[in-house]
Structure 1
Amino acid sequence: MSAQAVMSSHPFRVADALAVLGAEFAERTVAIDNKGNQIGYRQWGERGPVVVLLHGISSSAASWLPCAQILSQTMRVFAWDAPGYGNSTPLEQAAPRAADYALRLRAWLDALHVTPDVIVGHSLGALMASAYVAEAPATMQPTCLLLLNPAQGYGQPGQEDKSRAVQAQRLATLDQLGIDGMAESRHAHLLRPNATAEERAWVRWNMLRLNDGGYRQAVAMLSGDDIGAYLRKRPASTPARVACGDVDGITPPQGCQALAETFGLPFASVPAAGHASYIDAPAAVAGCIEQAVLPNSRNA
């Protein structure tokens, strides 16, 4: 029996996931310019709509594996390691904004010669996805944007004290504990309370692969940016929707639903899922993605 079949037919196990990761969702890199900048990414699926997956501040492309396995049956899945993560070249700015990540996202898609049917931004990735949609030309717009457990940023006017506090707390934790200590102390908070030990170990495995410098840049973006500024520039022709795990304690569902209501977007609750909803409930999140992309797909 193949590793993929084993992973599909049994409760989640990290050993099975790593076998599938290497066989089906292996890391690749692509140059995005002539200056030596590159993006590390993972790809799965041979046909169908193009789905682009953007991870959050404490994660990686690999973390999407359980969800990507389902999507790959009917779609072409591309998951990047954001700049400063994995083997992706960090941004030049010490304190980048989502728009800086979005420029790299566009360069990556150009290098792969793909146009996204749906972009899924999870947590901090939702800020990056929103920034991409705000500026991308019509020919590179997705047919749908899905903001999954979105981080909204602390860069809104009047949030200066909160912004400084979030940045100071995040960086103090990094300085005191390092990447290993953060992974050990924080991994369980991303999942539902009754997550299995293997699911928690999967989140921890991904967190252990964070890069210090890339994480610091991401903290600066989280602290200083505002998702609303980008969503207000979203073309009316690019539909968007919001989904959130119903027991998310990091970006709580009430705040995600309020964001959806502010911008008149559909909102869906993902049952029995915490912040890393695509790990807690990969089939349900895959269903949300399929619902978002299939009616409007260019490539279906």
Structure 2
Amino acid sequence: MNDTIDTAASSTATLETWLARFALRSARVGDGSVSYREAAGESASDALPLVLLHGIGSGAASWVQQLEALGGARRVLAWDAPGYGASTPVAGASPVAANYARVLADWLDALGIARCTLVGHSLGAIMAGAFAAAQPERVAGLLLISPAGGYGAADESVRAEKRDARLAMLAELGAQGLAQTRSANMLSPHADETARAWVRWNMARIVPHGYAQATHLLANADLAADLARCVGQVPMAVAVGAQDTITPPEACERLAQIARAPFHVVPRAGHAGYIEQPLAYSTLIEFTLTRTFSTTERKA
């Protein structure tokens, strides 16, 4: 028991050390703001910025290992989605993907980023896909990691069931309860305590209102339709952990087929594979940027 407590404390200390290196920043966006973390090394000016979008139970802090690994070669930014961290929520109780895509466009404008490569994890893939479909000229490449497809194409009864079950769980458990009871589902059996502690840390800090809006987004979204619109306009790739039980490999492969995109399966990884297998995912991201997106990723 004491060993577990000591490991958890050590993991939290390690995360907080990393977070101090990539301090939270804020950009004014319309009538609100977006909080984010950023890394940029000495040679970062030679490549297009890389933008990382987190999933429904997470935040910008989940990407600190990628900020460290990839920030030396390019400018890397990870946002807190609207309604997460210190970011202003989108308007309306039941938003759609286009609402988040508009905020993403305004945030990039505020930072002076005309074009970038996008990585979207889980629900972040829905936001990334909507942005790429709306403004393909601004996206040099789109990598979707364990993408959530959304339920927008399903029957209304299915959409309502999925939405209401998640909202009821939020109301019953709150952020701390979700972190304690649901965080283990995000990882494979191979994950160490450090990865488990980091997932719990992020999930415990969700903002209930923002999470509720994101739940509606998941019910309303149809990522497959947005990816079909991107074919021929935006280079794409899809990756998933071999032991992802939330967005299983077969579901992600179907999205890759719709996108006509390369498909990668990462061994010994679950849904939040980039947290438990940081080297494998950072290598995958770098490979995708420089090989799959090689004709468009570099600056003109």
TM-score (norm 1): 0.91
- One-letter identity of the residue aligned with 1:41: Y
CA distance in 2, matches of 1:274, 1:178: 24
CA distance in 2, matches of 1:136, 1:188: 36
CA distance in 1, matches of 2:19, 2:299: 26
- For 2:212, what is the secondary structure of its paired residue? helix
- 1:190 paired with 2:186, answer yes
Q: Which runs of 5+ in 2 are unaligned?
A: 1-9
- 1:275 paired with 2:271, answer yes
What residue in structure 2 maps to residue 298 of structure 1? Answer: 298
CA distance in 1, matches of 2:50, 2:143: 10
- One-letter identity of the residue aligned with 1:216: A
1:180-226 CA-to-partner distances (Å, cap 9, x unmatched) read 11111011110111211221111111111100100000000001111
**Does structure 1 retain, via aligned residues, the 8 Å contact 2:231–2:259?**
no
1:197-212 equivalences under 5 Å are: 197-212=193-208
- 1:41 paired with 2:36, answer yes
CA distance in 1, matches of 2:195, 2:165: 26
Out of 150, 161, 165, the position equivalent to 2:147 is: 150
- 1:71 paired with 2:70, answer yes
1:175-254 equivalences under 5 Å are: 175-234=171-230, 236-254=232-250
- One-letter identity of the residue aligned with 1:14: T
- One-letter identity of the residue aligned with 1:184: Q
What residue in structure 2 maps to residue 13 of structure 1? Answer: 11
Out of 140, 165, 169, the position equivalent to 2:165 is: 169
CA distance in 1, matches of 2:87, 2:187: 26
Deviation for aligned residue 1:161 = 2.4
- For 1:30, what is the secondary structure of its paired residue? strand
**Does structure 1 retain, via aligned residues, the 8 Å contact 2:230–2:259?**
no
- For 2:229, what is the secondary structure of its paired residue? coil
Deviation for aligned residue 1:59 = 0.2
CA distance in 2, matches of 1:137, 1:126: 15
**Does structure 2 retain, via aligned residues, the 8 Å contact 1:103–1:132?**
yes
CA distance in 2, matches of 1:237, 1:171: 36
**Does structure 2 retain, via aligned residues, the 8 Å contact 1:121–1:129?**
yes
1:44-63 equivalences under 5 Å are: 44-46=39-41, 47=44, 48-49=46-47, 50-63=49-62
Deviation for aligned residue 1:68 = 1.8
- One-letter identity of the residue aligned with 2:170: L
Deviation for aligned residue 1:66 = 1.3
Out of 280, 285, 289, the position equivalent to 1:289 is: 285
Percent identity of equivalent pairs: 43
**Does structure 2 retain, via aligned residues, the 8 Å contact 1:32–1:107?**
yes
CA distance in 1, matches of 2:136, 2:64: 30
What residue in structure 1 maps to residue 92 of structure 2? Answer: 93
Count of matched residue pairs: 283
What residue in structure 2 maps to residue 256 of structure 1? Answer: 252
CA distance in 2, matches of 1:275, 1:77: 22
**Does structure 1 retain, via aligned residues, the 8 Å contact 2:119–2:142?**
yes
